[in-house]
Amino acid sequence: GAGVSQSPRYKVAKRGQDVALRCDPISGHVSLFWYQQALGQGPEFLTYFQNEAQLDKSGLPSDRFFAERPEGSVSTLKIQRTQQEDSAVYLCASSRIAEDYNEQFFGPGTRLTVL
Amino acid sequence: AQKITQTQPGMFVQEKEAVTLDCTYDTSDQSYGLFWYKQPSSGEMIFLIYQGSYDEQNATEGRYSLNFQKARKSANLVISASQLGDSAMYFCAMREGVGDDKIIFGKGTRLHILP
C-alpha cells in the first residue's frame, strides 16, 4: 500500500526495557510527525522532522524519548527505560510541504503496553 | 487554557439523521487551519475536512461540512444522513500559523449511530 506504515503494531515491554518504534512515511513526503495518544484522549504532539532535520521536539515528555530520521525517510522513536505512564498508542504522520494547507496522513499506530 | 475544546464526550444519533459535533478553539494567530479527523475502533486517524482561517466559505466534503464561525471561534462538524459506519471517535484539531506544523487535537467526541 501507499500509506504510512508503522511497526510493530503492538509492543509489550517490561518496565525499564528500551523499545524502538518504526515509521515508514508515504514516499516523497518530507515532513514526519510523531504523536502520543493515551487511552481516551486525543493525540498529543511529540516531535517533527523535515527531511532528516528534527525541527521541533518540544513535545517529547522526557529525555528518555529520542527520535531520529537519519536519511529523511524512515523514522524511529526510541523510548529508554520505559515506565508505565509511557503506555499509549504512538502515531506517526507524514505530509508534503505546502505553503499553506497540508494534510497529515496517519499510520495505524503502535500500541505500547508497559507492565 | 485548552486550545481545542470538544464539549460532547459522547453522542447517540439515529441512523439517517444529521448530527453536529461541537468544537471551539483558542488562538491569537490570524492564520490557522482547522481539521476534523475520524478514528474508528481500528485506530487509524482518517482525515475528513479542513478549513483555513481565511476561507470565506464553509468547507464541504461529501456528507461532511464544517460550520465555521470565526468570531465565535467555532468549527462544528456536520454529518448529514448519518450511517452506521459513522460510529467512531471524532477529533477536532488546529494548526496554528501557516505552512507545516504540528496539529493540536481536542479530546474527541464518541459518536454512536443507532439502527
pLDDT at B71 over 80: yes
Q: Which residue has the higher pLDDT, A102 or B83?
A: B83
Residues of B in contact with A40 (CB under 8 A): 107
Contact A93 B107 (CB under 8 A): no
Between the CA of residue A9 and those of A20, A101, A110, B89, what are the distances in Å?
12, 29, 4, 20
The pLDDT-based confidence of B43 (bands split at 50, 70, 90) is: confident
Q: Which residue has the cell 508534503?
A: A96
Residue B62 grid coordinates: 461529501
Best interface-test mutation with B: which of A45, A101, A111 has the largest number of B CBs within 10 A?
A101
At residue B96, the pLDDT reads 84
A17-71 pLDDT, tens digit per residue, is 999 999 999 998 989 999 999 998 999 999 999 999 999 999 999 999 999 999 9
pLDDT at A92 over 90: yes
> Rounded mean pLDDT of chain B?
93
Are A111 and A9 in contact by the 8 Å Cβ rule? The answer is yes
Residues linked to residue B25 through DSSP beta bridges, in sequence order: B4
Q: Which residue has the higher pLDDT, B51 or A103?
A: B51
Question: How far is B94 from B52, CA to CA, in rounded Å?
Answer: 10
User: Looking at chain B, which residue has its C-alpha nearest residue A101?
Assistant: B99
